[in-house]
Amino acid sequence: MQIGIDTSAPSRVKSDVVIIFANDEGGIAKTVRSFGQGHAAAYRTLHRAKAFTGAVGQLRTSHEGPDARVSSVIFAGVGSADDGNAMRRAAGDAIRAADGLGAASVSVVLPAGPKGRKLPTPMVGALAEGLQLGLYLSLIHISEPTRLESKS
Model confidence at 150, in pLDDT bands (50, 70, 90)?
A: very low
Each residue's pLDDT tens digit, 63-108? 987 777 888 999 999 887 678 888 899 999 999 899 888 888 888 8
Each residue's pLDDT tens digit, 11-64? 777 788 899 988 877 778 888 888 888 999 999 999 999 999 989 889 999 998
Q: Among residues 27, 37, 31, which one has the least CA distance to residue 19?
A: 31
The answer to whether 82 and 113 are in contact (CB under 8 A) is: yes
Please state the separation of Cα 75 from the chain's center in Å: 6
The answer to whether 90 and 21 are in contact (CB under 8 A) is: yes
Predicted structure pTM score: 0.81
Residue 144 has pLDDT above 70, yes or no: no
- b/e string for 85-114 if b means 16 or more Cβ within 10 A? ebbbbbbbbbbbbbbeeebebbbbbebbbe
Q: Among residues 80, 95, 67, 84, which one has the least CA distance to residue 126?
A: 84
Model confidence at 151, in pLDDT bands (50, 70, 90)?
A: very low
